[in-house]
Amino acid sequence: MPKGYLFVPIQSVLISGTIISLSCLSLRLFVRRKINSRLYAEDYCLIFSWVRVFVLTADLIDAIYNAGLGTHVQNLSTSVLDLFEKLILATACLFVTGSCLARSAHLIFLARIFAGKQSMRYAVYTVTAFITVGSATTFSLFVFACRPISKSWTITQAGRCINQSAIFIAVAIFNICSDILLLLLPVPTIYRLKITHTQKVRFMIVSIMVCVTFIASAVRLSITIPLLTSRDLTYDTARLGLLVGIEANILTIAPCLPAIQQGFRIACSNHNIMPGGPSKTRNNFGTVGLANLHRTLPALQLESI
C-alpha cells in the first residue's frame, strides 16, 4: 500500500511520543518509590492509561500501513475500508477510556490531598461523576453508533449509523469542559489557604500543566468539524489521527512533568549538589513547594505529585 498523507509525521510523532510518555511515567514512579516508598491509586490510573496509549499508537500505525489512513478512499478496496473502520473504532474507544483514567488520576490526587475539606471532597465527587458518566456515554456512542453494531466496521452491510465525526466533536467538547473543571476545581480552596501568593501561583501552574490537554482538544475540535461533510474520510482523518495520538500522550506526560524537577533534585542530592541553594519551601511536594500546608491544614497530606 502506498504511503498516505502525513505518513511520516504520524509514525514518527506517535512512536517518539509513546517513548517520551513512558520515560516521564517511569520517572514519576521512580520518584514516588524513592520519596514515599509506595505508589498511590492515581499512579496506577496513569499506568493503565499509558497501556491504552500504547495500544492506541499501535492501532494508528497499523491504520497508516494496512488500513488506508491518509489514502484517498477511491484507491482502497472494501476489505481495507472495513479494517479502517474497525481500527478507527478501536482507537476512539481506547482514547476515551485512556482520557478518563488520566483525569481520574488527577481527581484521586485532589481528593487525597484535600481529604480534610468537606466542600472540596463533594466538588471532587461531582466532577468525578460528570467525567465518568460523560466518558461512558461517549464510549457507548462509538460502540453503538450503528444498527446493527457490526455495520460500524462492515461498510457493505445494510443498516444505519450516526455520523462518527459528530461523536468526535462531542468528545472534543467534553474533554475541553472536563479540563476546565479540573483546572478550576482547586482554585477556591487554594485561594482560602493561609499560604503565600507565590505558593498559590505554583500550585496553579501545576494544575495548568496537568490540564494543558484542553488546548489540544480545542485544536482537534477545529479539525474535526470539517469531517462532518467530508467525502474522503480515510484521507481527511489523517490529521485527526495525528492529533488524537498527540493528545493521548500529553494526557500521560502532563501529570508527570512535576516529577522531572523532583528527579533532578534527587540526582543532585545524591551527588551533594543543591541547585538554587536551600529553600524552606522545598519538600516532598517538589515543584509546588507548599511546605507550610502541613501546618495550615493538618488533614492535608501533601506529598510528591
pLDDT (tens digit per residue) in 260-292: 777 777 777 766 654 444 444 344 433 333 334
Identify whether 292 is part of a domain. Answer: no
Arithmetic mean of pLDDT over the chain: 83
**CATH number for the domain that contains residue 137:** 1.20.1070
The Cβ of residue 257 has, within 10 Å, a number of other Cβ atoms equal to: 17
Torsion, Cα 108 113 116 122, to 10 degrees, reads -30
Residue 103 to residue 297: CA distance in whole angstroms:
25
Identify whether 277 is part of a domain. Answer: no
Identify whether 58 is part of a domain. Answer: yes
- Strand locations in 119-266, DSSP E? 146-147, 160-161
Taking 50 as the threshold, does the pLDDT of residue 296 lie above it?
no
Identify whether 150 is part of a domain. Answer: yes
Identify whether 280 is part of a domain. Answer: no
Residue 279 to residue 295: CA distance in whole angstroms:
17
Identify whether 91 is part of a domain. Answer: yes
- State how many domains the chain has: 1
Identify whether 290 is part of a domain. Answer: no
What is the domain extent for residue 206?
7-259
Model confidence pLDDT, tens digit, residues 80-133:
999 999 999 999 999 999 999 999 998 998 888 887 788 888 999 999 999 999
Identify whether 74 is part of a domain. Answer: yes
pLDDT confidence band for 258 (50 / 70 / 90): confident
